Amino acid sequence: MQRASRYFGWIGQPIAVASLGLALVAPMTAETCTTQSAMAAADRDAMAAAAQGLAQKVIANDADGLRAMTIAEFSRDFGGIQNLVAATSGKLKGAAPVVEQIYVLDASDLKKNPDGSNGNAQFFCSLNKSPAEVDFSIPGLPPAKYGFAIVEAQGVPTPWRLAFLMEEVNGKWQMAGFYPRPLTAAGHDGLWYWTEARTLVKNRQPWSAWLYYQQAESLLNPANMIQSTHLEKLRNEQSTAAPPALSSGISSGTPLVVKGTDGAEYHFTSLGVDDSLAKEKVDVTAHLKVDQLGDPVAARKRNVDAMTALVAAYPDLRKNFHGVWIFSEVPGQSPYATELAMSEIR
């Protein structure tokens, strides 16, 4: 379960990573960022220790201990964070947390909007006096001094990134946001999927390439709100290589229409990737727009027919993915999901 956050939109949605060289579109003004190399040793050690302590409590599923280190606003209503921590810790038993990056994000002088609401903060962090930057754009941020820490949970089959927004409260760092994300899918990292996507483009397998680019971005981009020169290059490659049917994107208003052998039309509102089954390859996910779900037998048959039509229309999917998930959706109702391995799709 995710929980609304006044700082980043959603707890569970991670943000910036230094290795990506993040660079957002610059506003007219910006708050102050201090990278770890520019910090005083005592300040750097204190923030790193706080981040290490938070990560250790996440790995141990120590909800009470984590709650004691959380700002009052979230500590009072801790259920969403507690669920997220429990779901994350189950994947990290025995992991060793290693602090990778820390930043001080000083928004103490951030001005409120004319209507009294909190303003949007922009932090531009130059790395070691190089052209590389890691930049943060945080909507609705209350004036205060913040820190951001990136901790890698290492030594487990699937390494994770545990990112924390922290706020300085009475001289101590307290958690103000938690953003976990796996760093690999089906045993491969984001750079592997990016490289494979380029190979698939050369081999004229555009549908698989488009989805591999999507998987690469999911692993490399800590949050949708972040922009970077590296990720912009990835998106440009994906856009250039996209099949014509995907060049303008797909949505509920402009679905991808695929016909089955019997002439039935299937309206797909999104295509994505999924690693929840932890197989040797990731799965394709497709959301199907329907007028009504119907009984389970009819709903499953429609889903199977839809995935059969999808794979028949774009056969390169068969060799590059483990299987297909279909989610039939009607507004206001829970979706009906069906998953089959490619070997089961006729």
User: How far is it, in rounded angstroms, from Cα 139 to Cα 141?
Assistant: 6
Residue 117 and residue 17 share a domain: yes
Domain boundary among the residues 148, 182, 216 is at 182
Per-residue model confidence (pLDDT) at position 29: 53
Residue 144 and residue 45 share a domain: yes
Per the prediction, the chain carries an average pLDDT of 88
Residue 91 and residue 11 share a domain: yes
CATH at 65: 3.10.450
Q: What is the phi/psi pair of residue 212, to 5°?
A: -65, -40
Residue 202 and residue 61 share a domain: no
Residue 269 and residue 123 share a domain: no
pLDDT digits 0-9 by tens, 9-37: 334 443 333 334 443 333 445 689 898 99
Residue 33 and residue 175 share a domain: yes
Residue 208 and residue 178 share a domain: no
Task: Please spell the DSSP secondary structure of 9-74, one letter per residue.
Answer: EEET-----GGG-B-PPP-S--BEEEEGGGS-HHHHHHHHHHHHHHHHHHHTT-HHHHHHTB-HHH
Min mean pLDDT across 116-125, 279-288, 305-314 is at 116-125
- Hey, which bits of the chain come out as E strands? 3-5, 9-11, 32-35, 96-106, 121-126, 133-138, 145-154, 160-169, 172-182, 184-185, 188-189, 256-259, 265-274, 283-289, 323-329, 336-341
Residue 288 and residue 255 share a domain: yes
User: How far is it, in rounded angstroms, from Cα 132 to Cα 129?
Assistant: 8
In the chain, the number of structural domains is: 3
Is residue 307 predicted with pLDDT exceeding 90? yes
Residue 153 and residue 40 share a domain: yes
Domain boundary among the residues 135, 155, 182 is at 182
Pairing of strands 256-259, 265-274: antiparallel
Residue 23 and residue 145 share a domain: yes
Residue 213 and residue 283 share a domain: no
pLDDT digits 0-9 by tens, 185-234: 999 999 999 999 999 999 999 999 999 999 999 998 876 666 677 888 99
Domain boundary among the residues 220, 247, 274 is at 247
Q: State the residue range of the domain holding 157.
A: 3-182
Flag whether the pTM goes above 0.85.
no
Q: Note the Cα 313 to chain centre separation in Å.
A: 29
Per-residue model confidence (pLDDT) at position 137: 85
Which helix H or strand E contains 310, and what residues bound it? Answer: helix 296-313
Per-residue model confidence (pLDDT) at position 130: 57
Residue 225 and residue 119 share a domain: no
Q: Is 329 left (phi over 0), alpha (psi -120 to 50) or beta?
A: beta
Q: What is the phi/psi pair of residue 291, to 5°?
A: -80, -35
